Amino acid sequence: MNKNRNKFNVPTAFAPETRFEVRPNPFLAARENEFEQLKNKLLAEQLREAKTELNAPLRRAANEAAAIAWATIFPLLVFPALFEEKIAAAIRQAERQARIFKKSREIVVVA
């Protein structure tokens, strides 16, 4: 062990506490509202066409796409493409799970 670890004292000085006021940005609030409307519109279209069991995966995919898009500079521009990609992936995953479930039931019935 190092016996000289407290050999140097570093002087510390703290500045006075800094405070600032946070004001809501009306432009950002309008963008959030437009973004939410776009997400709800696209999701509603998908849910009308989809089977009931895809409801949760599609909503989850829409939320994931929204979270990623909102982190970009142009979320309204990026979101539709991301939404399509995430929805397609969710549908593929649900179909894959259905196939696996069906095969596993066949295996259980045979055994």
For the stretch 10-54, pLDDT in tens is 788 888 888 888 777 677 778 888 999 999 999 999 999 988 889
Whole-model pTM?
0.69
Burial letters 62-87, b for 16+ CB under 10 A, else e: bebbbebbeeeeebeebbeebbeebb
Q: Is 106's pLDDT higher than 90?
A: no
User: What is the CB neighbour count within 10 angstroms for residue 42?
Assistant: 18
- At residue 59 the predicted structure's pLDDT band, cuts being 50, 70 and 90, is very high
Alpha-carbon span 30 to 47, nearest angstrom = 26
Alpha-carbon span 75 to 38, nearest angstrom = 11
Residues 6+ apart with CB under 8 A from 54: 90, 91, 94
pLDDT in tens, 73-83: 899 999 999 99
